[in-house]
Amino acid sequence: MVDVQGCVLAVARDAEHRFSKAPQPSIRLLAGLGVEGDAHCGEMVKHRSRVARDPTQPNLRQVHLIHAELIDALQAAGFAVEAATMGENITTRGLALLDLPNGALLRIGPTAVLEVTGLRNPCVQLDTYQTGLTRALLDKAANGELIRKAGVMAIVLASGDVEPGDAIQVETPSPPHRRLAPV
């Protein structure tokens, strides 16, 4: 079912494993791999802690997306963050990324398609960047469940170039929907 539409606010990549990524005029998404020229591009896991545990795991974290509304809220709370500073490849506007079900498809621009695989788990690197940022990206639901607000992860199903201003069309899988969990 096709429903929500949003847009790309910014795109970024970095060939090195650094916390922040470098904003770009456009990025190229490669099917089955991720963002061309990014340290997390590849079929197998590239996140350093996951590589240390088992380098043969499939890479479910090829593309990191954060919604600009989160950045707005963090700025209002006094944090010096902007697009790409928290390591995302794509900053979106107008999409409730954290509410998407597992397996939702994001059709971006003319040809790129991502499949949402899960949540980014906020890590201590956030506090290395700015004290208190990890805590700001975690919350508790009324039932005591931990809420992770650091964006979503995705894999690339169809290649394509992505740039700021591109439309994002969301296609949700047929019910029952599975809630996102950390990957």
Classified as helix, coil or strand, 38 is: coil
- pLDDT for 1 beyond 70: no
> pLDDT tens digits, residue range 14-54?
999 998 999 999 999 999 999 999 999 999 998 878 778 88
Classified as helix, coil or strand, 143 is: coil
| Whole-number pLDDT of residue 52 | 81
Token pair, residue 78, equals 């006094």
Domains in the chain, ordered, with CATH?
A: 2-171 (2.40.33.20)
State the pairing for strand pair 27-30/112-119: unpaired
- Are 18 and 33 contacting, i.e. CB atoms less than 8 angstroms apart? no
Which letter, b or e, does each residue of 30-56 get, where b requires 16 or more Cβ atoms within 10 Å of its Cβ? beebbbeebbbbeeebbbeebeeeeee
> pLDDT tens digits, residue range 101-116?
999 999 999 999 999 9
Tell me if the pTM is above 0.85: yes
